[in-house]
């Protein structure tokens, strides 16, 4: 009887040990699978890691910058060409909800110009040409004084801004949306008394891009 009693707990413990062993093996297999999957993703990310798109200001022409004195309302007409380049050889870029506008001393001076969404292939270059205009835009009291001072100096700094969203495309996979902000500073050389053509024109300027 004592033998029987001794045998039964032994059996129980043997059976009880078998399950954790199986679980451990399963756990080990699963975790090593997960680790190799994670390292594969990391390797893919390392090799494909997209560089942010490059932008530069090709030209900017100011045709009109007229300020009404009493309620300070500004009319402006600015033509700008921004060139965009995708530096990635394996990653494409979808641009959505792009808008561009001009700002002077942190103040928006034209209405938003909405650009159509587009796809930029591997190492593609796209030219974004927009006519920006503002009609009776309210400006800060200092605006007239600042522009007057710049006119005396013969040049003014104008910000051409572009923002929107982008999605990366790798093979047939498309990422989620990321915000993109582009800021280009144009140094406008003023030509007072110019009868025809733009009041001022500037060529070439690098833009800062944040994604
Ligand atoms: C701005 O444009 C509006 C509408 O065309 C016009 O009525 C106004 O006189 C213009 N203002 C200036 C300062 O040119």
Residues 63-98 have pLDDT tens digits of 888 888 777 888 999 999 999 999 999 899 999 999
Centroid of ligand 1 to alpha carbon of 63 (angstroms): 14
Mutate to test the pocket of ligand 1, among 63, 64, 65, 66 (most ligand atoms within 8 A of CB): 66
Q: 195 to each of 39, 63, 199, how far by Cα in Å?
A: 65, 11, 8
- 82 Cβ contact list (under 8 Å, min separation 6): 55, 56, 57, 58, 100, 127, 128, 129, 130, 160, 162, 182, 184, 207
Give pLDDT, residue 128.
94
pTM: predicted TM-score of the whole model, two decimal places: 0.73
| Domain layout of the chain by residue ranges | 50-210
| Residue 96 and residue 162 in contact, taking contact as beta carbons nearer than 8 Å | no
* Fold topology of 50-210: Immunoglobulin-like (2.60.40)
Residue with CA closest to ligand 1 atom 13: 68
Mutate to test the pocket of ligand 1, among 75, 77, 111, 139 (most ligand atoms within 8 A of CB): 75
Beta bridge partners of 187: 157
Give ligand 1 pocket residues (Cβ under 6 A).
Answer: 66-68, 75, 135-136
Q: Which atom of ligand 1 is least distant from the CA of 66?
A: 13
pLDDT band at 2 (very low <50, low <70, confident <90, very high): very low
């Amino acid at each position: 009887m004592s033998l029987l009693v001794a045998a039964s707990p032994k059996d129980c413990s043997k059976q009880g040990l078998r399950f954790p062993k199986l679980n451990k093996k399963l756990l080990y297999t699963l975790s090593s699978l997960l680790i190799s999957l994670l390292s594969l993703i990391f390797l893919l990310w390392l090799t494909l890691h997209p560089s942010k798109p490059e932008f530069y200001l090709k030209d900017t022409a100011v045709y009109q910058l007229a300020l009404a004195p009493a309620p300070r309302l500004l009319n402006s007409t600015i033509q700008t060409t921004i060139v965009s380049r995708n530096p990635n050889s394996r990653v494409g870029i979808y641009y959505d909800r792009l808008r561009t506008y001009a700002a002077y001393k942190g103040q928006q001076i034209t209405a938003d110009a909405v650009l159509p969404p587009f796809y930029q292939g591997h190492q593609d270059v796209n030219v974004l040409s927009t006519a920006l205009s503002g009609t009776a835009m309210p400006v800060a009291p200092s605006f007239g004084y600042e522009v007057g001072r710049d006119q005396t100096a013969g040049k003014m700094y104008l910000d051409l801004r572009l923002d929107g969203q982008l999605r990366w495309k790798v093979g047939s996979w498309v990422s989620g949306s990321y915000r993109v902000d582009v800021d280009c500073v144009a140094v406008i050389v003023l030509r007072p008394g110019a009868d025809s053509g733009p009041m001022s024109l500037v060529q070439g300027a690098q833009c800062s891009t944040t994604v």
